[in-house]
Amino acid sequence: MKKKVLLHVCCAPCSASAVKMLGKEYDISFYWHNPNIYDIEEYKKRKDAAKKYAASLGISFYEEDSFVYDYDNWLECGGETCGFCYAERLSKTAEFAKKNGFEFFSTSLLSSPYQKHELISTIAKEHAEKNETKFLYKDFRPAFYEGKNSLRSEGYYIQKYCGCAGSYKQQKARVCRHINAPKRDLNDKN
């Protein structure tokens, strides 16, 4: 019998590599708690894609019944820092795992090459201990691009930034720099 793991899901693309690497050994359920996502339209797109992906795999999808999207409140709580963001999401995941009989919890954040793995692991272990459950650390990054490209080919929504307003602004700045960069003369050998 497979062990039960509650996988905090930040988005469908990141969850694909986690599912691939955990699926043979664990009975996976998805957990959605992402108050950090900016803005409401983006939040809905990511949540809908994650739900659709879970349904396509026959995976249970859980979320907080009482959660109401309120990005302004998120910012007032200090939500533009990675540590705060990880702690908020992973504490809720650990609490839900304990309350609902999951032996382990993990997070699809560990799929992304853009996330801070050591910080995620440290915070998750603290919340696991506090909630008397176990954090399952796996480095899902080796399967990240394969999973993301697989979902892209199936028509799933693929976002362009981590989630918060800060990462949104950084992504926009990168795009603007690229668009405004001087064009190179292809005949120039220098």
CATH assignment of the domain containing 121: 3.40.50.620
Task: Between 61 and 116, name the one with better pLDDT.
Answer: 61
Which tokens sit at 186?
A: 């292809």
Sequence-ordered alpha helix ranges (H) in the chain: 12-22, 40-57, 71-76, 82-99, 117-130, 144-153, 165-180
Contact 101, 60 (CB under 8 A): no
Judge whether 185 lies within some domain.
no
Query: Tokens 């001087």 appear where?
Result: 182
| CB neighbour list of residue 103: distance below 8 Å, 6 or more residues apart | 3, 4, 5, 133, 134
pTM over 0.85, yes/no: no
Residue 166 tokens, joined:
């800060």
pLDDT at 61: 98
The verdict on residue 104 lying in a domain is yes
- Average pLDDT (68-72) is 69
Q: What is the pLDDT of residues 52-63, one digit of tens each?
A: 999 999 999 999
Residue 56 to residue 19: CA distance in whole angstroms: 12
Number of independent structural domains in the chain: 1
Does residue 97 lie within any of the structural domains? yes
122 φ/ψ angles, rounded to the nearest 5 degrees:
-60, -50
Establish if 54 belongs to a structural domain. yes
Domain that holds residue 37: 3-180
Rounded to whole angstroms, how far apart are CA atoms 164 and 84?
12
Q: How far apart are CA 88 and CA 118, in angstroms?
A: 16
C-beta separation of 95 from 66 below 8 A: no
Decide: helix, strand or coil at residue 140: coil
Report the pLDDT value the prediction gives residue 177, as an integer from 0 to 100.
47
Residue 145: count other Cβ atoms within 10 Å of its Cβ.
13
Residue 135 lies in a domain: yes
What local confidence, expressed as pLDDT, does residue 179 receive? 46
State the pLDDT at residue 184: 45
